[in-house]
Amino acid sequence: MRILGIETSCDDTAAAVVDDTGLVLSSVISSQDSFHQKYNGIVPEIASRRHTATIIASVDEALFQAGMRIKDVDGIAVTYGPGLIGSLLVGVETAKGLAYASGKPLIPVNHLEGHVMASFLRDPGSDLQPLTGDDFPVLALIVSGGHTELVYVDRWLHYRVLGATRDDAAGETLDKFAKYLGLGYPGGPVVQKIGATGDPSYHSFPRVTFSRGGYEFSFSGLKTAGINYVKSLTSEELKAHLPDIVASFESAVVGELAGKSLRAARDLSPRTLTVVGGVAANKRLRDSFARTGDVRVYFPPMKYCTDNGAMIAYAGTRRAMLGVRAAIDLDACSSLGIEDSSLNT
């Protein structure tokens, strides 16, 4: 089985072809970073217009790289939520048109589920061994610009949310802190670059502890504390200690993510802990998990951490195996939760 996957939930237009073993036959991503940088954030209208301009070319290139035509695929998987509604609609309507014209099954995929499935992708250019069905139960930390949550996955396509952010996502927090400092967009990579030369113990930023325990996150207070601390400095102090301040802030975010994830792993004893989503590319986060021997920790290859079509295609193959199909009136859903897509398999 070979599935074409289409991903347009935010600001990257992506298409890929993946087979039912998780082998990535092609993966194409059209980035919009250059269109949003001057606004220091994603402009939804621009994002949807850029998707419209590049979606067909992205699909064509993904098929070409896989040595296939649309008639050769066994189904078309598409992200239908969550995400920016205008962006989602471009992908959904394109997939519906392709499915109708080609007679191929249309397979709906949750974007968050796609990130989890990135852990099972087989990259022909990498020696990294992906997860398999033998690695369940899996504890997944989904961490990106728009999402931060811990999900327990005991079998294929079955999800239980243990905890999520009550306010800002981790990636969003890094972006907003970088924006306030005037470091540019996207904030995550520039924070990592500047913070790499700094001392993460230079300043202690506050972290939230909920009285009832659990695995929920909160980054709004940390973001505010970071901005207020910067406001308290003179321009000379900020310039002299910028790498240290950035490293300290990044370390606080990472500490919150790793701390709760590892505590959940100790409490629930999953076979594997996987860290997925755009922030999973962060080196300090990867290093923080590398120092633990409590549980096997897996990170997908860097190129499958950020939004991509391959993760959607593979999620589509798992759903297609169980006969999941969408009607031609499939609609986008901007606020979809991962538990909404859980199957009682």
Residue 175 known to bind ligand: yes
Residue 145 known to bind ligand: yes
Residue 119 known to bind ligand: no
Residue 115 known to bind ligand: yes
Q: Which helix (H) or strand (E) holds 96?
A: helix 85-102
Residue 60 known to bind ligand: no
Q: Report the amino acid identity of residue 310.
A: A
Residue 142 known to bind ligand: yes
Residue 146 known to bind ligand: yes
Cβ neighbours of residue 139 closer than 8 Å, sequence gap 6 or more:
150, 151, 152, 153, 162, 261, 264, 265, 268, 270, 272, 273, 274, 295
Residue 307 known to bind ligand: yes
Rg of the chain, C-alpha, whole Å = 20
Tokens of 80: 């239908």
Residue found under tokens 């001392």: 199
Residue 111 known to bind ligand: yes
Spatial contact of 5 and 18, defined as CB atoms under 8 Å apart: yes
Residue 214 known to bind ligand: no
Residue 144 known to bind ligand: yes
Between CA 85 and CA 9, with CA 80 as vertex, the angle to 5 degrees is 55
Q: Are strands 106-110 and 296-298 parallel, antiparallel or unpaired?
A: unpaired
Distance separating alpha carbons of residues 207 and 45, to the nearest angstrom: 35
Write out the binding residues.
111, 115, 142-146, 175, 188, 282, 307
Write out the binding residues for substrate.
142-146, 175, 188, 282
Write out the binding residues for Fe cation.
111, 115, 307
